Structure 1
C-alpha cells in the first residue's frame, strides 16, 4: 500500500516539475526573442546584412 502511494506521489511531483521546467524555458526563450532579436528584425527587412553598430550592440549585450 505504501509503495503504491509513493509511486503515485512521485508521478505527480515529476509531472509538476516537468511542467515548471517547460514553462520556465518557454518564458526565457520568449524574453530572449523579445529583447534581443525583435529590435533587429526591422533592420533585416530592408537589408540582408546588419549595420556594424547593431552587431557591436548585440555582442556587448551577450
Structure 2
C-alpha cells in the first residue's frame, strides 16, 4: 500500500500485469519503477536454501561452526 501511495503521489499509476501487457505488449520503458522498488522479486530470505541450511558461514548471526 505504501508503494502504491508513493507512485500515486509521484504522478504515476499502478497497473496489474494484465493491464501492463495490454498497454505495452513489448515491454519497452516499463520496468524503471518496478526495479527501483523491487516489485518483481520477493525477499531474498525466502529462498529454500536459506530455510534449509541457514545463513552462509562468516556472515553476522550465522550460528555456524567457526
Normalised to the residue count of structure 2, the TM-score between the two structures is 0.25
Larger radius of gyration: 1
Which one has more relative contact order, counting CA pairs under 8 Å at least 6 apart?
1
Normalised to the residue count of structure 1, the TM-score between the two structures is 0.26
